[in-house]
Amino acid sequence: MTYEEVEIIEVEKPSQLAGFIKVPWKIYAKDPNWVPPLISAQRDMLNPKKNPFFRYASVKTYIARHGGENVGRIAAIVNR
């Protein structure tokens, strides 16, 4: 896989946020030592209304896609 084959998509919709949250389940599916986080906790962490961090920071989230599948995720965080 080359970087030209990877598409980076900004998360803008709730359905995309669900995909962003679930990326680790695909990446670590075969790792017997991986302990998945609670989806509700991940959702709350990324919710500006529930996470006080957002009073002082801006966050943009992105999904890396290859061949139509989510293969990675990126978060850009600026602490103001």
pLDDT in tens, 39-48: 999 999 999 9
- Average pLDDT of the segment spanning 53-68: 95
**For residue 1, what pLDDT is reported?**
64
**For residue 4, what pLDDT is reported?**
73
- Average pLDDT of the segment spanning 61-68: 95
For residues 75 and 64, what is the distance between their CA atoms, to the nearest angstrom? 11
- Residue 33 DSSP SS3: coil
pLDDT in tens, 19-57: 999 999 999 999 999 999 999 999 999 999 999 999 999
Domain ranges in the chain?
3-79
State the pTM of this model. 0.86
For residues 77 and 80, what is the distance between their CA atoms, to the nearest angstrom? 9
- Residue 25 DSSP SS3: helix
